[in-house]
Chain A
Amino acid sequence: MCATCGCADDGTAGPGVRVIDPAHPERHVHPHADDGPEHRHGTRVDDHAARTVALEVDLLAKNDDLAGHNRDWLAERGIVALNLMSSPGAGKTTLLERTIRDLGAELPCAVLEGDQETLLDAERIGSTGARVVQINTGAGCHLDADMVADGLRTLAPERGCLLFVENVGNLVCPALFDLGEAARVVIMSVTEGADKPLKYPHMFRTADLVLLNKIDLLPYVDFDVDRCIAGARRAKPDVAVLEVSATRGDGLDAWYAWLRRARAR
């Protein structure tokens, strides 16, 4: 068993976060190695005699600090990062495969794939030719800024690229964690309930774009598109909403136009 991250020697078990280059899956990466976005630590107070010490520290301060470093690191390289979040099965990976195949020649793309376990999604993305690194969170339910910093070191994305960070499928936990992204994209699909935006307001109120996926299935499901969009706009009044089908291609031109604008900003 690895003493640094707790994974088993065969890389198949253990509780720690693992950053895996699918081209070299036997070489997992430990946190805090080599170059890449720096870690910064707070100031230590050595006043041990005090009985009660006012700290007034934000609980998310460490993550927000690391996210700020990621944001600076990405900006220095002209990389636009998008944090893609959804419940499991909304079609994030399928959308990315299609997007990279359609846009890859025009816009270089790289992907950080977040999942609890397996290299399956990284292998799918890798088959498109895009550079990809898998982050397995083990027991973790979301990506945080530290994991993304570790992932960026291994990924080494090229300057000026579009970086997709596919978060762990979960509409709750990822909402609270800034990763250093330029924008947040929440994907939901018409096979889910139209009331998702109201049931998961923390996720939708920080979205910059909501993609409503699988609209090719609308004739077969009972899904009220207007009610869904109204819910999303109640959570975030000015949020952009695009209706797409990653498999059939509906609405993807508008998605690609949004990506080009995000990169131009």
Chain B
Amino acid sequence: MHELSITQSVVAAITQRMGDAPVRRIRLEIGRLSGIVPDSVRFCFELVAAGTTCEGAELEIDEPAGRAHCRTCGTGFDTAEVLPLCDCGSADVEVLGGSELRIREVEVGTCARPADVPTTARPGPGSG
């Protein structure tokens, strides 16, 4: 469950940079070949963010696809595999994208939000 420590580092990086400003929204980029499971990060986020300025923030995760280039036949293709094979049969394939792991941006408020106004749009059970 390395997503727990990854999520802790996300919250730490944001609180360190944004000071006391309440965080409304966080946008992450987690490539499909990165070795990080976005759903596990979402699962951990609520726990990790509790009691910090990130508590209640909406978490958006972009998941760029894996992109590969075959060195044998020159074809470029999308892939969900960490060790992709080209349709031509070659395993000599360079992975060009899909390993992204970044905090892209955060949206912050200028004052603490009222406790009784929900600012998140988390899907309820069954709707996500």
Closest residue of B by beta carbon distance from A235:
B83
Known A61-B13, A202-B82; judge A172-B104 contact (CB<8 A).
no
Interface residue count for B (Cβ, 8 Å)?
Answer: 34
Known A48-B21, A59-B101; judge A173-B108 contact (CB<8 A).
no
- Distance between Cα atoms of A46 and B20 in the complex (Å): 9
Q: List the count of A-B residue pairs having beta carbons below 8 Å apart.
A: 98
- Distance between Cα atoms of A61 and B17 in the complex (Å): 13
Q: Which residues of A sit under 8 angstroms from B78, Cβ to Cβ? A: none
Task: Give the interface SS of chain B, mostly helix, strand, loop or mixed.
Answer: mixed
Tell me, rounded to whole Å, the shortest Cβ–Cβ distance linking B35 to chain A.
4
Known A51-B107, A53-B18, A142-B2; judge A205-B102 contact (CB<8 A).
no
Say which residue of B14, B83, B110 sits within 8 Å of A49 (CB atoms).
B110
The answer on a CB contact under 8 Å between A63 and B2 is: no
Known A53-B105, A59-B10, A63-B9; judge A205-B19 contact (CB<8 A).
no
- Distance between Cα atoms of A58 and B9 in the complex (Å): 10
The answer on a CB contact under 8 Å between A58 and B107 is: no
- Distance between Cα atoms of A60 and B7 in the complex (Å): 10
Closest residue of A by beta carbon distance from B26:
A55
User: What are 18 A-B residue pairs whose CB atoms fall within 8 Å in the complex?
Assistant: A42-B17, A43-B17, A48-B20, A49-B110, A50-B108, A51-B109, A52-B108, A53-B108, A55-B13, A55-B106, A57-B13, A59-B30, A61-B13, A140-B5, A141-B2, A202-B35, A202-B82, A235-B83
Q: Which residues of B sit under 8 angstroms from A55, Cβ to Cβ? A: 13-14, 17, 103-106
Tell me, rounded to whole Å, the shortest Cβ–Cβ distance linking A104 to chain B.
33
Closest residue of A by beta carbon distance from B101:
A59
Tell me, rounded to whole Å, the shortest Cβ–Cβ distance linking B86 to chain A.
13
B127 at the interface (CB under 8 A from A): no
Interface residue count for A (Cβ, 8 Å)?
Answer: 38
Closest residue of A by beta carbon distance from B9:
A62
A46-79 contacts to B, CB under 8 A, are 46, 48-63
- Distance between Cα atoms of A141 and B105 in the complex (Å): 28
Interface centre among B5, B9, B16, B110 (most CB of A within 10 A): B5
- Distance between Cα atoms of A57 and B2 in the complex (Å): 18
Known A53-B108, A55-B14; judge A175-B5 contact (CB<8 A).
no
- Distance between Cα atoms of A59 and B2 in the complex (Å): 12
Tell me, rounded to whole Å, the shortest Cβ–Cβ distance linking B48 to chain A.
13
- Distance between Cα atoms of A59 and B12 in the complex (Å): 10
Tell me, rounded to whole Å, the shortest Cβ–Cβ distance linking A261 to chain B.
28
B1 at the interface (CB under 8 A from A): yes
B59 at the interface (CB under 8 A from A): no
A44 at the interface (CB under 8 A from B): yes
A198 at the interface (CB under 8 A from B): yes
Further contacts, 8 of them, CB under 8 A, given A60-B6, A177-B2: A45-B19, A52-B106, A54-B104, A57-B13, A60-B9, A201-B83, A202-B35, A234-B91
Tell me, rounded to whole Å, the shortest Cβ–Cβ distance linking B32 to chain A.
13
